Amino acid sequence: MFRWFKKTQSPDKLKNLPELIKNLKESGDFFHFESKQHGSSFFLYYFKTLVHETPLNEHILRFLSQEPITSLKDIKDKVPITGIIITEDLKIICEKVMTGYVIVRLNENSVECALIPCQVKKARQVSQPEVEFTVVGSKEAFVESLDTNIHLVRKRLPVHELKAYELTLGKLTNTKVVVMYLEGIANEENVNTVKQRLEDIHVDQVVDSSVIMQLISDNRNSPFPQLVDTERPDRVVSVLCEGKVVILSDGSPQALIGPTTLVEFFSAFEDYFVNWIVASTARLIRFFAILFSILVTPVYVATLTYHYELIPSDLLSTLVSSRQRIPLPPILEALFLELAIELLREAGARLPTKVGQTMGIVGGIVIGTASVEAGLTSNVLLIIVALSALASFTTPVYRMSNTIRLTRFPFLIFAHLWGLLGITLCFSFLIVHLLKLKSLGRPFLEPIYPLRVKDLKDAIIRLPLRFQSTRPVQLQTEDTKRFNIKIHKDKNDFHE
């Protein structure tokens, strides 16, 4: 597909350095500079857009023009910059010049050159997390620069056990990817799985960590994400301490966390910042919201199509009178509204923020009320669909909320075809699928199945921190104990 690119750029085809330079000169931002002083001469070649001007002028040019240079080794000794390479290897030269190194040659036809690192590091400032915002807790989020991201993690975890295994992915993008884990805590098998899967990736471009996520997932045909992505460095640190493996990719503000479980997608990081009772309540509400979001519209369709007996007598008049004028069967009515909501969401996501808000109002109020007044949908269903859409957004991980909205549609169709029996059938399909899923080879539905009572401390509810003294069994960590609990008996301060 990209053969045209290979023809011109590939250093294999170019025989020597002068030919490479000739080739590179075809780009407008490739600069060359010659100097002949003190009887010695040197030639500089670099990409203007990749090189930082200040060190180039202040360090490189100053030192090179001050003293006579006779050999490339002189440059290495005199220029006060670390990481200078002297080489003849065209492949390395080509690779380095493309990442912001300056080529220095002493005469125009030599094949050997010195490479001086002088990259420009332009990156967004570390800013507030936008997807996983929490009211309390750190307000730092990852940015697009890998070095900054690693810095954000390292400064929170200043131990030598924190390893960052680096590799380059993507034939064209040459993206730097880093696997981070705590040695002696993370299970080596997990680390190796991640490393091996990353090494097996052979694609031309890795522009974001989500690409990596799709490529290394255990089941690529599942709508369920099998790795958690986060933009919070504190969350990354917290899971590193649990013994998980984290993948950071250059150019992506999202870190990937694995192995993970289904329940982790429903735990917000804020759950650890608030009291355990509050956190557990929030989690229970979220689980309820998920079930509600998936099941309530299908149940509406099923009962109205097949099981009129199930509707309480008091609700009957409301339901019947709201559906009195509607020409569509319940399934079309429901699909129409669900589709409307999906359209609104998609349109809102594609539009700029300010226009997006107007979209929400236009969609919510105008379309909703108008369709009820026009007799296309019943107002009861409008409430149900709006609520279930709202409920699907309570999921803390954005990817999961997409999946949940998607899951509703097969349920709807089964509900229309077979009623409640169909919903049960579809639910069992879903459960079987979830049971078969794995995250980096570890069961996805743990601790519910396989049942691991020890891991229930931080699953559907979050127990107090003193119960969290062991690392998750699922990870099979090398060091299972996090800390020793000492429970102090409170002295009674009240003198009775």
Partner 1 sequence: MIRSLLILLCILLLTGCVQKKILDDIQMVTIIGYDVPDEDKDGGLIKGIAVAPQYQPDGKVDNTVFIESAELSKEIRSQYNSGSSKPIVSGKLEVALFSREIAEKDGVIELVDTLQRDPSIGSRVFLGVANGEIEEMLSTNYGNVDTGTYFNDILTHNSKHGMLPQTNLHSFLYSYFSEGSDPFLPLLEMDDETVKIIGIALLNGDKMVGELDADSLFTFKILYEKFSSNDSFSVKLGPDKYASIYNIASKRKIDYKRAGNGKILITGNILGVIKEYSGNKLSPEALKEIKETMEKDIEERGTKMIKTFQELRIDPLSLGNVVRSRTRGEFDRDKWIDEYKDMDISFDMNVKITESGIIE
User: Which of 305, 402, 470, 476 lies at the binding interface for partner 1 (CB under 8 A)?
Assistant: 305
**CB-wise, 258 or 330, nearer to partner 1?**
330
Question: Does position 431 bind partner 1 by CB under 8 A?
Answer: no
Shortest separation between residue 218's beta carbon and partner 1, angstroms: 19
Residues 452-471: x/- map of binding to partner 1 (CB under 8 A)?
Answer: --------------------
Q: Report in angstroms how near the CB of residue 303 gets to partner 1 at its nearest.
A: 8
Taking a C-beta distance cutoff of 8 angstroms, is the pair 455, 443 a contact?
no
Q: How many chain residues touch partner 1 (CB under 8 A)?
A: 24
Footprint (CB under 8 A) of partner 1, residues 316-335: 316-317, 319-326, 329-330
Convert the chain into a string of H (helix), E (strand) and C (coil): CCHHHHHHHCCCCCCCHHHHHHHHCCCCCEEEEEEEECCEEEEEEEECCCECHHHHHHHHHHHHHHCCCCCHHHHHHHCCCCCCEEECCHHHHHHHHCCCEEEEECCCCCCCEEEEECECCCCCCCCCCCCCCCCCCCCCCCCCCHHHHHHHHHCCCCCCCEEEEEEEECCCCCEEEEEEEECCCCCHHHHHHHHHHHHCCCCCCCCCHHHHHHHHCCCCCCCCCCCEEECCHHHHHHHHHHCCEEEEECCCCCEEEECCCHHHHHCCHHHHCCCHHHHHHHHHHHHHHHHHHHHHHHHHHHHHHCCHHHCCHHHHHHHHHHHCCCCCCHHHHHHHHHHHHHHHHHHHHHCCHHHHHHHHHHHHHHHHHHHHHCCCCCHHHHHHHHHHHHHHCCCCCHHHHHHHHHHHHHHHHHHHHHHHHHHHHHHHHHHHHHHHCEECCEECCCCCCCCCHHHHHECCCECCHHHCCECCHHHCCCCCECCCCCCCCCCCCCCC
Q: Do 307 and 421 meet the contact criterion of CB atoms below 8 Å apart?
A: no
- The verdict on 184 binding partner 1 (CB under 8 A) reads no
Compose the 2-41 pattern: x for residues touching partner 1 by CB under 8 A, - for all others: ----------------------------------------
Class of residue 175 by CB neighbours under 10 A (exposed 0-12, middle 13-18, buried 19+): buried
CB of residue 493 to partner 1, shortest distance in Å: 42
Among the residue ranges 99-107, 149-157, 179-187, 307-315, the one whose residues contact partner 1 (CB under 8 A): 307-315
Options 73-81, 106-114, 298-306, 399-407: segment touching partner 1 (CB under 8 A): 298-306
Stretch that binds partner 1, among 230-238, 246-254, 283-291, 299-307 (CB under 8 A): 299-307
Min dist. Cβ of residue 299 to partner 1 (A) = 13
439: β partners: 442
| 84 vs 426 by CB, closer to partner 1 | 426
Q: Which residue type sits at 239? A: V
Instruction: Choose, by CB under 8 A, the member of 311, 386, 387, 456 that binds partner 1.
Output: 311
Q: Which stretch binds partner 1 (CB under 8 A): 42-50, 59-67, 358-366, 411-419?
A: 411-419
- In contact, 301 and 411? CB cutoff 8 Å: no
The least distance separating partner 1 from the CB of residue 444, rounded to whole angstroms, comes to: 21
Which of 228, 304, 344, 391 is close enough to bind partner 1 by CB under 8 A? Answer: 304
By CB under 8 A, name the one of 309, 373, 493, 496 that touches partner 1: 309
Q: Site for partner 1 (CB under 8 A): which residue of 5, 133, 308, 398?
A: 308
Which one of the spans 79-87, 124-132, 262-270, 417-425 is the region binding partner 1 (CB under 8 A)? 417-425
CB of 415 to partner 1, least distance (A): 11
425 binds partner 1 (CB under 8 A): yes
417 is a contact residue toward partner 1 (CB under 8 A): yes
Residue 309 corresponds to which tokens in the numbers above?
């007996």
Judged by CB under 8 A, the residue of 419, 443, 447, 472 near partner 1 is 419
Position 337 contacts partner 1 (CB under 8 A): no
Establish if 436 lies at the interface with partner 1 (CB under 8 A). no
Q: Does 298 bind partner 1 (CB under 8 A)?
A: no
Query: Is residue 211 part of the contact set for partner 1 (CB under 8 A)?
Result: no
Q: What is the CA radius of gyration of the chain?
A: 30
Residue with structure tokens 């609990």?
485
Considering the rule CB under 8 A, would residue 313 count as an interface residue with partner 1?
A: yes
Q: Shortest gap between Cβ of 439 and partner 1 (angstroms)? A: 24
* Shortest distance (Å) from residue 432 CB to partner 1: 11
Binding site for partner 1 (CB under 8 A): 303-306, 308-309, 311, 313, 316-317, 319-326, 329-330, 417-419, 425
